[in-house]
Amino acid sequence: MSMPAQPGNTPTHQDITAAMSDFARLAIRASTAPATENDEIARLLLHRLVLLCGATRGALLHARFDTPESEQAGMARPPVHMRALALHEVKEGEIPPFVLTAPATPFTEQIFQVGADWIVSALPIREFASEMDGDHHGGHQQWAFLLLGLDPADDSAAARITTLCQATSDGALAVIQALLLSARVQEVTATWNDTQRSLTDALTAVADWEQVFDAVSDPVGIIGQDFRVIRANAALRSHLNRGEIDIIGHHCYAIDSNTDSPCAGCPLPQTMLSGKASFVQQEFVARSPVTGEPERRVYQRWTYPIVSVTGKVDRVVEILKDVTAQEHLREAAIRAEALRHADHLKAELLGTVSHELRSPLASIKGYAATLMRYERRLPRDERHEFLLAIEEATERLEIIISRLLEISQLETGTLPLQREPLDVAHTIREAVAVAESKAAGRAPGKFTFVTNLYGKDGHTTGTLPYIEADPRMIREVLDNLLENAVKYSPEGGTIEIAASPITIDDVDDLPIPGGSRTFHPGEQVLEITVRDMGTGIPSEHLGFIFDRFHRVDTRLTREVDGLGLGLAICKRITELHDGAIWAESSPGAGSVFHVVLPLEEALVSSR
Ligand code: ADP
């Protein structure tokens, strides 16, 4: 406990020297002892100062001010952080508030404030902490406040304490600096240990990752923006049959296919550009994982982007998935499905054919039997009628058999195309003439046939460009369409056949349902349309009428002869000519059948 100093016991020069050497020892202890002793050292320092000055109580505070350089000069600011290092005969709540403002600047040395019964010595602390953090704002941001209480009755106390504080401030500051430095060293050591731990964790994670990367059974590579391989796992090295040195840093396309630019169809450039995963299925000859022999293998090449913090794709992960086994299974499933389908078709064909053959055969048999039995009793004209019926049924049988033969030959490819330059305008006129005379025979006066040929300019013309086609087959298509137009128009009406050369650009959208042919803008084609005013076709059947044996089941189709093969034959013929066929129709509104055939450039210009 310190006693208020009396004028008589003002500390001597020796007292000050002794205190200073005490402070030097404390400073050394603070810088070498563990930080756990810091509180004790601060307490000893304060106790020594209180005794030396003959003060009634004391407090040693550490304050940090957030004072930007621009505001250093000027107004006092409250500290952002204040901490008591040591207290003597005073509680933290009793510390006078006047020290809680920043000392007015520029203070580079010790300053004093004198309150009613306190003397405050503000000691500037060197900015070692900020320097270490690289956060140096300039000026003093940290201060130590030494508060010493004085007895108001002691007249000389203020002057004595001020003098003693001045005399010992360097020593006291040395201890405080050493204390703060030791705390800071402790902090830095803890951070360093944390960093070491994080580093060890990161290195372990990298090592784990490398092992997992190598253990993945699919070939995996990481490729940079410049298409150079950054990493390749063991499976990829074995797939490429090369060592790491021949892969890493080399262009992937050079390794893969010995080219000097990205391989055609590779999904990698797309992933780099779009930042989206992409894939492609490819086949190569590779070693079988079972026999080691080269064989055809199917791979899916997947590419996934690795996006940097800036949102740019800077690397791509490429995974090769061997899907040979799945592909074999899929192909086997498709083959099995095709066989099932073929079996079904065979059964359907047999059913339809026997049904279709039975009715003309039954007529032939019936009429022939009647003729044989009642030959002599039958009047001549009745006999003639029976013979005509037999002839008609035989013709029908002939047609059925030749249709069946034709579709089978078209589908098996045993009916080769006899292409030659064909004057379609002429073929159309011939087909219309035959259809017209047949219709006039069957239903006189019911049908009107109109033929409209247009030039490229849209005006009517008498000629059309030639096409390279098989004349017999094209004629067959026209005959079928015209015959259907008559057959499925029970009320008669106008049947229009129109034809014109068109450029694909002229047509917004060619509606080719299930068309196997893609048309390109600018392509020259000849379009032929056959339009009737008949029953029309329900929309749900439009996509199927070109299938074999497909007939729209209505009273009319049951009444008119038909096998459901005419349009299938038309479709096959147009496809063989690299063209397309489709229909537009709705029930009650008639039908339009479109046939599009390619125009040979040489033929177009030469005729
Ligand atoms: P078929 O006429 O022998 O039945 P197609 O293959 O020629 O066989 O025609 C298939 C089906 O398409 C026909 O049964 C009929 O239902 C329908 N069809 C074809 N052309 C027309 C048409 N112009 N108008 C209405 N329906 C038609």
pLDDT digits (tens, 9 = 90+) for 426-451: 999 999 999 999 999 989 999 999 99
Mean pLDDT of 230-239: 92
Mean pLDDT of 147-158: 85
The burial of 172, by beta-carbon neighbours within 10 Å (0-12 exposed, 13-18 middle, 19 or more buried), is given as buried
Q: How far is the CA of 559 from the centre of ligand 1 (A)?
A: 12
Calculate Rg over the CA atoms of the chain.
52
Is residue 570's pLDDT more than 70?
A: yes
Q: How far is the CA of 540 from the centre of ligand 1 (A)?
A: 14
Q: How far is the CA of 597 from the centre of ligand 1 (A)?
A: 21
Mean pLDDT of 482-497: 95
DSSP for 36-52 reads GGHHHHHHHHHHHHHHH
pLDDT at 132: 46
Q: How far is the CA of 525 from the centre of ligand 1 (A)?
A: 25
Which atom of ligand 1 approaches the CA of 530 most closely? 23
User: What share of the chain in percent tops pLDDT 90?
Assistant: 42
Rounded Cα–Cα distance for residues 518 and 115 (Å):
98
Is residue 105's pLDDT more than 50?
A: no
Cα dist. 5→11, 53, 134, 149 in Å?
9, 7, 45, 12
Nearest CA to ligand 1 atom 25: 536
Q: Which strand ranges, in their side-by-side order, compose the sheet holding 81-88?
A: 81-88, 58-64, 142-149, 118-124, 111-114
Which atom of ligand 1 approaches the CA of 551 most closely? 14
Q: How far is the CA of 361 from the centre of ligand 1 (A)?
A: 23
Distance from CA of residue 184 to its chain's centroid?
51
Is residue 606's pLDDT more than 80?
A: no
Structure confidence by residue, pLDDT tens digits, 296-330: 888 889 999 999 888 899 899 999 988 888 888 98
For residue 300, count other CB atoms closer than 10 A to its CB: 17
Mean pLDDT of 397-416: 85
Nearest CA to ligand 1 atom 12: 545
Rounded Cα–Cα distance for residues 515 and 120 (Å):
98
Mean pLDDT for the chain overall: 84
Which atom of ligand 1 approaches the CA of 565 most closely? 6
Q: How far is the CA of 564 from the centre of ligand 1 (A)?
A: 7
Nearest CA to ligand 1 atom 13: 551
Q: How far is the CA of 439 from the centre of ligand 1 (A)?
A: 17
pLDDT at 403: 85
More confident residue, 282 or 508: 282
Nearest CA to ligand 1 atom 3: 562
More confident residue, 557 or 109: 557
Question: Cβ < 6 Å from ligand 1: which residues?
Answer: 480, 484-485, 488, 532, 534-537, 545, 550-552, 557, 562-568, 591
Q: How far is the CA of 592 from the centre of ligand 1 (A)?
A: 12
Is residue 571's pLDDT more than 50?
A: yes
Q: How far is the CA of 417 from the centre of ligand 1 (A)?
A: 25
Is residue 101's pLDDT more than 60?
A: no
Nearest CA to ligand 1 atom 19: 484
DSSP letter at 80 equals: S
Q: Which strand ranges, in their side-by-side order, compose the sheet holding 447-453?
A: 447-453, 493-503, 524-531, 591-598, 580-585
Confidence of residue 264 (pLDDT cuts 50, 70, 90): confident
Residue type, 445: G
DSSP letter at 330 equals: H
Nearest CA to ligand 1 atom 14: 551
Which atom of ligand 1 approaches the CA of 567 most closely? 6
Mean pLDDT of 565-569: 93
Which atom of ligand 1 approaches the CA of 489 most closely? 24
Is residue 603's pLDDT more than 60?
A: no
Residue type, 527: E
Cα dist. 175→27, 41, 398 in Å?
4, 8, 123
Structure confidence by residue, pLDDT tens digits, 200-229: 999 999 999 989 999 998 999 999 999 999
Q: How far is the CA of 551 from the centre of ligand 1 (A)?
A: 6
Rounded Cα–Cα distance for residues 114 and 104 (Å):
15
Which atom of ligand 1 approaches the CA of 593 most closely? 23
Q: How many CA atoms lie within 13 A of 23 on its CB side?
A: 24
Is residue 102's pLDDT more than 70?
A: no
Confidence of residue 109 (pLDDT cuts 50, 70, 90): very low
Nearest CA to ligand 1 atom 21: 484
Nearest CA to ligand 1 atom 23: 485
Structure confidence by residue, pLDDT tens digits, 345-395: 777 777 777 877 888 899 999 999 999 888 788 888 988 999 999 999 999
Q: How far is the CA of 68 from the centre of ligand 1 (A)?
A: 92
The backbone region for 296, taken as left when phi is positive above 0, alpha when psi lies in -120 to 50, beta otherwise, is beta
pLDDT at 248: 94
Q: How far is the CA of 545 from the centre of ligand 1 (A)?
A: 7
Rounded Cα–Cα distance for residues 597 and 422 (Å):
12
Q: What are phi and psi of 122, to 5 degrees?
A: -100, 120
| Substitution site in 403, 545, 559 for ligand 1 pocket (most atoms within 8 Å of beta carbon) | 545
Nearest CA to ligand 1 atom 16: 552
Which atom of ligand 1 approaches the CA of 552 most closely? 16
Rounded Cα–Cα distance for residues 314 and 320 (Å):
20
User: What share of the chain in percent tops pLDDT 70?
Assistant: 87
